[in-house]
C-alpha cells in the first residue's frame, strides 16, 4: 500500500502563518522519564529491567540523552544509575547518559566515579534554585548561589565530565540574578545552560523573551555553550512552550514519556516528537512510539487516558458514520497516507498504529460493511440491516461479544475476532 504524502491534498495554513517546513540545525532531546518523571507522587519506581527496556526504546526513537537518575540520593539510586550506564555501554546504544546533581561536590562525585569506572562521559546536570521566591523560602543569598555554582561546575569540569548548569525556576528569576549565575557557570566551564520552567509558569511570549536573553548573554560572553529547555505542564503549555523554545534558539529540549512528573507532569516527550516531525524539523523514526508509551505506562503504573493524544486508545478510533465513511473510502484506494489523514491530523502509521472503525449508535451502514469485510463475513444486506439496527439501539460502541451475539442470532458461524480497544487504556 502506498504511503507517499500528497501535500496538494492539504492546504496548510500553518505554512501561511509563518511555520517553516525544515529546521536549519539539529534538535536534540533529553528523556527525563527515569528521573524527573519518577518525582510524580503517583508512580512506582520501576525495577532495573524495566528501566533498561525504556532506555532501549528511547534509543530507537532517536533521543540523544537520558537522565538516568540522581546518584547522590543514596546507594540504591547510585546502583540504578550505574546499571543503566553500564547497559548503554555494553549494548552500544547511541543515547548518552546524564545524571542530576545538586550543585554540591558530594553530588557530583558519584557521577565522576560512574564515568571513570565505565569509561564513558556522563554529563552532570548540576541544578540550583534561582528565583527570588525560592531564595526567600530557603534563606539563600546570591553569594551562596554563586559559590555553590562555581565549586560544583569547576569540580566536574576538572574531572573531565561535561557539566550542564541548570537554574531551577528560571522562568520566575530576575534577569540580574540569572546573568550572574550564568556567567559564573560559563566561566567555571559549563558546556550547557538549562532554562527551567519548574512550576509551569511561563507562556510562549515569556519563553521567547527568556531564550533570547540567555542567547544574548552567551553571545556576549563569546562562549561555546549550548542551551537547553526543561518545561512542566501545570498550565497545559508544556508542548507549545517547548516548540517556541526550539524556534527561538535552544539546542536541546527535555520531556518525559506520557508527561509523567511532579504535580501534573513534564512536557510529554512523545507529543513533542510527533509535533516536530509533523513540522518537518526532525526525521526521527517514531514507529516505536506506541510501544514506548505503553512501556512507560506499565513500568510506572500510570494509565494512558483514552483521549491522550496520539497513543490513547481513542486517538485513531471512530464509530461516527460520516468520519468512518471517508476513512473507509480512503482505505479502498489502497493508500495508507490518505486513510490516516482524511480524518486525522497525525499519521497513525508513523507511530506504529492504525485507523480503527467501530460500530455504534453514531455509525452508518459503511461502518457495518467495513467491520464484516474485515472479519471475512459476506456483507449481506439483511445482515447489515440487522447489525445496524442493533447498533442504533445501543448507547455506546458495540463490543465483540455483542456483535457476535447478533451474528449468532442471524445464523452466522465464525471464529474469534481480534482484540478491540477497551473503553479505557489500562496499565498493561
Q: Name the β-bridge partners of 67.
A: 98
Helix ranges (H only) for 123-268 are 132-138, 142-158, 175-188, 204-220, 238-248
Nearest-angstrom CA–CA distance, 76 and 135? 30
| Nearby residues of 113 by Cβ (< 8 Å), 6 or more positions away | none
DSSP-based three-state secondary structure for 52: helix
Q: What is the DSSP string of 123-146?
A: EEEEEEE-SHHHHHHHT--HHHHH
Which 8-state DSSP code applies to residue 360?
S
Nearest-angstrom CA–CA distance, 42 and 29? 25
pLDDT for 1:
42
pLDDT band at 238 (very low <50, low <70, confident <90, very high): very high
CB 260 within 8 A of CB 227: no
pLDDT for 98:
98
Phi, psi of 149 (to 5 degrees): -60, -55
pTM of the model: 0.91
pLDDT in tens, 316-339: 998 898 998 998 898 888 888 898
Phi, psi of 206 (to 5 degrees): -65, -35
In the chain, the N- to C-terminal Cα span, in Å, equals 31
pLDDT band at 415 (very low <50, low <70, confident <90, very high): low
Q: Is the pLDDT score of 418 beyond 70?
A: no
DSSP-based three-state secondary structure for 101: strand
Could you give the residue range(s) of every CATH 3.20.20.70 domain in the chain?
Answer: 25-300
25-300: CATH superfamily: Aldolase class I (3.20.20.70)
Phi, psi of 38 (to 5 degrees): -80, 0
- Integer CA distances (angstroms), 320 to 164, 347, 366, 397, in order: 50, 19, 10, 10
Which 8-state DSSP code applies to residue 269?
H
- Integer CA distances (angstroms), 350 to 80, 203, 314, in order: 32, 30, 16
pLDDT band at 4 (very low <50, low <70, confident <90, very high): low
The rounded Cα 108 to chain-centroid distance in angstroms is 27
Q: Is the pLDDT score of 384 beyond 80?
A: yes
Q: Is the pLDDT score of 380 beyond 90?
A: no
pLDDT in tens, 167-223: 999 999 999 999 999 999 999 999 999 999 999 999 999 999 999 999 999 999 999
Amino acid at each position: 500500500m502506498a504511503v507517499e504524502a500528497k501535500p496538494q491534498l492539504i492546504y496548510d495554513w500553518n505554512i501561511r502563518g509563518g511555520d517553516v517546513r525544515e529546521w536549519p540545525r539539529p534538535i536534540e532531546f533529553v528523556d527525563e522519564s527515569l528521573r524527573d518523571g519518577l518525582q510524580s507522587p503517583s508512580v512506582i519506581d520501576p525495577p532495573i529491567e524495566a528501566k533498561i527496556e525504556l532506555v532501549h526504546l528511547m534509543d530507537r526513537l532517536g533521543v540523544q540523552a537520558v537522565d538516568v537518575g540522581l546518584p547522590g540520593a543514596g546507594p540504591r539510586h547510585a546502583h540504578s544509575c550505574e546499571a543503566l550506564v553500564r547497559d548503554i555501554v555494553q549494548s552500544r546504544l547511541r543515547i548518552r547518559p546524564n545524571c542530576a546533581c545538586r550543585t554540591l561536590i558530594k553530588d557530583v562525585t558519584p557521577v565522576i566515579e560512574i564515568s571513570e569506572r565505565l569509561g564513558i562521559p556522563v554529563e552532570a546536570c548540576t541544578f540550583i534554585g534561582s528565583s527570588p521566591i525560592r531564595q526567600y523560602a530557603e534563606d539563600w543569598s546570591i553569594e551562596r548561589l554563586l559559590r555553590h555554582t562555581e565549586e560544583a561546575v569547576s569540580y566536574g569540569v576538572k574531572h573531565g565530565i561535561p557539566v550542564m548548569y541548570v537554574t531551577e525556576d528560571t522562568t520566575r528569576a530576575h534577569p540580574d540574578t540569572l546573568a550572574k549565575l550564568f556567567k559564573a557557570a560559563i566561566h567555571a566551564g559549563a558546556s550547557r545552560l538549562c532554562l527551567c520552567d519548574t512550576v509551569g509558569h511561563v507562556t510562549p511570549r515569556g519563553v521567547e523573551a527568556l531564550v533570547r536573553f540567555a542567547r544574548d548573554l552567551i553571545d556576549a560572553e563569546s562562549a561555546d555553550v549550548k542551551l537547553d529547555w526543561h518545561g512542566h505542564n501545570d498550565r497545559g503549555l508544556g508542548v507549545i512552550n517547548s516548540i517556541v523554545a526550539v524556534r527561538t534558539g535552544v539546542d536541546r529540549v527535555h520531556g518525559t514519556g506520557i508527561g509523567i512528573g511532579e504535580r501534573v507532569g513534564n512536557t510529554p516527550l512523545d507529543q513533542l516528537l510527533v509535533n516536530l516531525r509533523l513540522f518537518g524539523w526532525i526525521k526521527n523514526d517514531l514507529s516505536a512510539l506506541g510501544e514506548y508509551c505503553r512501556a512507560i505506562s506499565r513500568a510506572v503504573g500510570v494509565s494512558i487516558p483514552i483521549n491522550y493524544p496520539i497513543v490513547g486508545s481513542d486517538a485513531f478510533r471512530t464509530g461516527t458514520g460520516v468520519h468512518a465513511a471517508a476513512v473507509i473510502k480512503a482505505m479502498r484506494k489502497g493508500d495508507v497516507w490518505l486513510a490516516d489523514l482524511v480524518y486525522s491530523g497525525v499519521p497513525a502509521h508513523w507511530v506504529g498504529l492504525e485507523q480503527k472503525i467501530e460500530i455504534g449508535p453514531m455509525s452508518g451502514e459503511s461502518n457495518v460493511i467495513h467491520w464484516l469485510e474485515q472479519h471475512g463475513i459476506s456483507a449481506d444486506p439483511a445482515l447489515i440491516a440487522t447489525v445496524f439496527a442493533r447498533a442504533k439501539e445501543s448507547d455506546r460502541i458495540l463490543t465483540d461479544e455483542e456483535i457476535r451475539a447478533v451474528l449468532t442470532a442471524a445464523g452466522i458461524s465464525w471464529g474469534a475476532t481480534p482484540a478491540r480497544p477497551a473503553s479505557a487504556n489500562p496499565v498493561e
